[in-house]
Amino acid sequence: MITRSRQVALVLTVVLAAGAACQARDHRSPQTGRPAPSAPAARGFTLVASGDVLPHASVVDRAAFDAGGRGHDFRPMLSGIRSVVSRADVALCHMETVYGTAGDHSGHPTLTSPPEVAEALAATGYDGCSTASDHTLDDGADGVRRTLDALDRAGVRHAGSARTEQEARAVTLLPAGPAKVAHLAYTHGTDDLPFPPGQPWAVDLIDEGRIVADARAARRAGADVVVVSLHWGTAWQDAPDEQQTTLARSLTAATSGGRPDIDLILGTHAHVPQAYEKVNGTWVVYGMGDQIAGAMTSHDGVPDPRGNQSTLGRFTFTPPARSGGRWEVTRAEFVPQFYDVDAGRVVDLNRALARGAEVGAVRDRIRDVVLSRGAAKDGLVMGQ
């Protein structure tokens, strides 16, 4: 009998590439009936986002093995979703832990990870990463500095934590095709760890008024689209909690100049996939789940495979019809994935299923949770 790990490993040996083709429509002049000169179509962009990168000791050990005794190499474990991530115009990740020094990492309750994680995120195709989480201050100001330094060296932008007050006030703007995307990030707390002395700006905390003000400042700084990452919610709960739904309604209702202040909300922290929902016309991902994590146990100490399940969100934005209008999401998709703790790899479940791996039940469970708040009626589909 072929084990699940061997099936997944077999799938991972084949990388499928999909091409996209577009056919031009035959536009005809109403006066002459002859084809009219084609005007160049206004170009939109695609944005991909994924959940918590949480390298537990077993994950770090796997990266050491993949490096062949020369540090840590996290690139192989992310290779299974590289084709999805790298094709996006802009791709956002969530770095839950901070980095230690080279070769140094620590486990729960205070977490540090090898800085080579940043290199893997860049190699996978990520352009930016939210860094606001309840573990941001696990190693104080030094942990924040090492993390952002490593991301900078790798060319991965970041939002949610800062080394200086000036950096905390700056807007993270990312090019996305013809548009500029602002990325803002906030966390519900720091697990009661104090802020470094004199650095109340080291990590951004969730505050509705502050988030709206920052979103408006991002617009003034030139953002066409404002994306907010929120580390929020109740761990191990499939359904969003009241804090999430209430804050989502308030944030998506905020407007300026006739358009919403926030164009997309991306949730992390719950460790399990949660629903997608269109709220006041804006897509909200309540929880994407853990993209990378070791074998997870719930608060009750029971092994819980949901902690290794997650989604990639993919959103296609189209330019406004008029100057100053909103960039609209014209296609919303989710790609189900999980981290195979035996193989040490992130697996695109649709591709694994297509290659014969017995992962249909996992894929279907994620799909049911994602669609549990009626997102299908608003056009959310499962992407490839």
CATH number for the domain harbouring residue 290: 3.60.21.10
pLDDT for residue 8 is more than 90? no
Q: Which of 168-172, 220-224, 291-295, 321-325 shows the lowest per-residue confidence on average (mean pLDDT)?
A: 321-325
**Does the pLDDT at position 265 exceed 80?**
yes
154 domain-assigned:
yes
Yes or no: say if 205 and 186 are a contact pair by the CB < 8 Å rule: yes
Q: How many domains does the chain have?
A: 1
Q: What is the mean pLDDT of residues 318-338?
A: 95
Residue 237 confidence (pLDDT): 96
pLDDT at 106: 60
Q: Which of 3, 122, 57 is nearest to 293 (CA)?
A: 57
Is there a domain that residue 20 lies in? no
Please state the pTM of the whole predicted model. 0.89
Out of 41-55, 85-99, 114-128, 234-248, pick the least confident: 41-55
Q: Which of 4-13, 117-126, 364-373 has the lowest mean pLDDT?
A: 4-13
Is 6 inside a domain boundary?
no
In-domain check, residue 310 = yes
Helix axes 140-154, 116-124, angle to 10 degrees: 40
Sequence-separated (6 or more) residues with CB below 8 Å from residue 183: 92, 128, 130, 157, 159, 172, 174, 227, 229
Residue with tokens 């796997």, as numbered in its chain: 62
Q: How confident is the model at residue 109 (pLDDT cuts 50, 70, 90)?
A: low
Which carries the bigger pLDDT value, residue 77 or residue 324? 77
Whether the per-residue pLDDT at 254 is higher than 60: the answer is yes
- 85 lies in which domain range? 43-335+342-382
Question: Is 240 a residue whose pLDDT tops 80?
Answer: yes
> Do the domain assignments include residue 203?
yes
- Is pLDDT of 324 > 90? no
What is the C-alpha to C-alpha distance for residues 62 and 151, in angstroms, rounded to an integer? 21
Q: Is the pLDDT assigned to residue 16 strictly greater than 60? A: no
- Is the pLDDT reported for residue 231 higher than 80? yes
3-state class of 232 per DSSP? coil
272 has pLDDT over 60: yes
pLDDT value at position 69? 85
Higher pLDDT, 203 or 9: 203
Is beta strand 225-231 parallel, antiparallel or unpaired with respect to 179-187?
parallel
Amino acid at 30: P
Residue 31 within any structural domain of the chain:
no
CA–CA distance, 168 with 148 (Å, rounded to integer): 12
- Would residue 9 count as lying in a domain? no
Helix, strand, coil percentages in the chain from 3-state DSSP, rounded to 5: 30, 25, 45
**Among 280, 251, 254, 224, which residue's Cα sits nearest to residue 89?**
224
Tokens of 258: 């006739």
Q: Do the domain assignments include residue 27?
A: no
Please give the Cα distance from 275 to 277 (Å, whole number): 6
In sequence order, what are the residues at sequence separation of 6 or more whose Cβ sits closer than 8 angstroms to the Cβ of residue 148? 131, 158, 161, 162, 163, 167
